[in-house]
Structure 1
Amino acid sequence: MSTATLDPAAEPAPRFLDLIAAEWIKLRSLRSTYWVLALASLVAIVVNVNAVHTDLTYIDHPPPRMPGRPPYTYDPLFHGLGSIAGDLMAVAAGSLGAITVFGEYTTGLIRTTFAAVPDRRGVIAAKVVLVGGITALAGVVVSAVSFLAVNAMLASRHVGLSLADEGCLRAVLGYAAIVPVCALIGMALGALLRHATASIVSLVMLMFILPMMFGGDRYRWLKEIGTHLPLATVQRLTIRPGSTTTMGKYAPSVPDSWITMGVWGVAAVVVTVVVVRRRDV
């Protein structure tokens, strides 16, 4: 037997698909994580459908017109792709992203992972692809099913929309895209904090508590900070063009919301990679 055969350095480096397969085994072993994401997706669809179903009365009997304001028009996009269901998916996806990182640190599995694969960037890239792909699929399912179901219901009231209508495809894609973005943000928080409670609490504060500090239209700079937080981007993307629904003064443009969402996702990946590479396990 040759010396090269016994030399560990002669063993081929793991391929990227091998890293994804290894990450999938880890994720699949935590059954509660993907069951929670699946349950959250189902509940989010039910919440959206129920919200529009309860609106049927207001569609049949619209509120009286307020003096000096345009007549009320129902916005199937804003109500059918609702913020409550979106918030639920944000928490579920963010928690899944966080646990894929801090879970390995709390159990000590990360040492075994890096001993087997010293290329930390490759490991994190595999996690990003896997978690991002799974949560993107969940986002697409929730967004598409919600849109189709609520507009099928609204067709009898002659206010239903199709994907070909202006702003609809954008809204469906934006509502789906925020889910993997929140998952990536969760991964970054998990890498930074390496603690279950701290990561989830920080996620909730970033998604829901921080926006309360940057609301209102009195101070433009405060409002603009708020409109560049993660969930504010999808709120803008799900408003139908020409609708009476509005984000108030200083609302961001559609391209600005897309750019902001992309920046949050890219920044989260960069933070995760840098922190995992430079900090000891």
Structure 2
Amino acid sequence: MTTAAPAGTRDAAPAPARPASPYRLSFGRVVRSEWIKLLTLRSTWWSLAVTVALSLAISLMMASAARDFGGGLSPVMTIVMPMQFTMLVAGILGAIAVTGEYSTGMIRSTFTAEPHRGAVLAAKAIVVGVVMALATALTYLVAILLTAPILGSAGIDWSDPAQSWTPLAAGVFAMAMFALIGVGFGFLIRNGAGAIAATVGVLFVLPIVTNMFVFAGESWQWIVDLGQYLPMAAAQMATTPAGDDVLRGILTLAAWPAALLLGAWAALRTRDA
């Protein structure tokens, strides 16, 4: 006679193997996720709207007053000079695109879905930079169309790239870099107010502080010289028509977000979300 084994000691039937999912989380999907997140935020559209409206308004006013500049202002500068004001909106947009996730706790879900935090950082930087570059290029196009009738024969000389295409391309690049500076501070500080304050400090406050030392004498000239490597000064170099320091300005503009994003990547590897 055989004795039945207790129910608790019987071998359980093997569970059927679940079919492998055909979906994989690729970097392209991470970029698409960041694209959706950024463009579904009202703050993004408000920031872009303010940037476009401010840029167009200043361009129209400068074009209307161009005859009062005594011929010393290149026509293309009426398009790119509003960047001195819109750079703040670009930097703030980059900062809140990151800190908004930290304030709501969504960043934990993001890092759970994609444990490779460097991929999240790269995807967010790409999306923010591309959105700002596209918005700036579209703004420049509208500004050119609106100011052309005002400037008339004194308009942009498209046959000379140094007086037209180069400053415009540098302006688009500069606005994207300003936004990425905000992204870098956002990941480093992780607090909305702190990241915005740091971004505004680098883009707007520090240039004012360094310019104060112009009157301080030769012993303080090194501070003035350092100010030439701030993002705003670099943007002015890069967008100056037929300027001699365009390449230096471009490289300086690229170095700021590169350094901040590398620091943010190192911080993400060692800190909790």
TM-score scaled by structure 2?
0.83
- Paired position in structure 1 for 2:241: 240
State whether residues 142 and 176 of structure 1, in contact with CA within 8 Å, keep that contact through their aligned partners in structure 2: no
State whether residues 143 and 173 of structure 1, in contact with CA within 8 Å, keep that contact through their aligned partners in structure 2: no
Instruction: Pick one of 133, 138, 153 that aligns with 2:135.
Output: 138
Query: Quick one: percent identity of the two aligned structures?
Result: 29
- Paired position in structure 1 for 2:226: 225
2:27 is the alignment partner of 1:16: yes
Deviation, structure 1 residue 256:
1.1
State whether residues 240 and 246 of structure 2, in contact with CA within 8 Å, keep that contact through their aligned partners in structure 1: no
Cα separation, 1, equivalents of 2:209 and 2:26 = 46
Of the structure 1 ranges 10-19 and 197-206, higher mean CA displacement relative to structure 2 is found in: 10-19
- Paired position in structure 1 for 2:11: none
**Residues 133-187 of structure 1, C-alpha deviations (whole Å, 9 max, x = no match):** 10111121223433454344212xx322233223321110111111110111001
- Paired position in structure 2 for 1:75: 74
Distance 1:144 1:277, change over 3 A: farther
- Paired position in structure 2 for 1:45: 56
- Paired position in structure 2 for 1:92: 89
2:174 is the alignment partner of 1:178: yes
Please say which structure displays the higher CA radius of gyration. Answer: 2
Of the structure 1 ranges 209-218 and 198-207, higher mean CA displacement relative to structure 2 is found in: 209-218
Cα separation, 1, equivalents of 2:98 and 2:186 = 5
Distance 1:73 1:228, change over 3 A: same
**Residues 15-65 of structure 1, C-alpha deviations (whole Å, 9 max, x = no match):** 122112221232233222223213321321221111221333x16xx4xxx
Deviation, structure 1 residue 276:
2.1
State whether residues 190 and 196 of structure 1, in contact with CA within 8 Å, keep that contact through their aligned partners in structure 2: yes
Instruction: Pick one of 105, 108, 118 that aligns with 2:102.
Output: 105
State whether residues 133 and 175 of structure 2, in contact with CA within 8 Å, keep that contact through their aligned partners in structure 1: yes
Letter in 2 for 1:42: A
**RMSD (Å) for aligned C-alpha atoms:** 2.4
Of the structure 1 ranges 132-141 and 212-221, higher mean CA displacement relative to structure 2 is found in: 212-221
Cα separation, 2, equivalents of 1:179 and 1:214 = 22
**Residues 60-98 of structure 1, C-alpha deviations (whole Å, 9 max, x = no match):** xx4xxxxxxxxx63322334422xx21332122211211
State whether residues 81 and 147 of structure 1, in contact with CA within 8 Å, keep that contact through their aligned partners in structure 2: no
Q: Partner of 2:85: helix, strand, or coil?
A: helix
Distance 1:236 1:152, change over 3 A: farther
Q: How do 1:106-255 and structure 2 match up within 5 A?
A: 106-155=103-152, 158-165=153-160, 166-215=162-211, 216=214, 218-219=217-218, 220-241=221-242, 253-255=245-247
Deviation, structure 1 residue 209:
0.8
Letter in 1 for 2:88: V
Letter in 2 for 1:162: D
Cα separation, 2, equivalents of 1:163 and 1:2 = 69
Q: Partner of 2:248: helix, strand, or coil?
A: helix
TM-score scaled by structure 1?
0.80
Deviation, structure 1 residue 261:
1.2
Unaligned runs of 5+ in 1: 63-71, 243-251
Q: Partner of 1:17: helix, strand, or coil?
A: helix
State whether residues 81 and 146 of structure 1, in contact with CA within 8 Å, keep that contact through their aligned partners in structure 2: no
Unaligned runs of 5+ in 2: 1-14
Cα separation, 1, equivalents of 2:235 and 2:145 = 18
Cα separation, 1, equivalents of 2:92 and 2:117 = 22
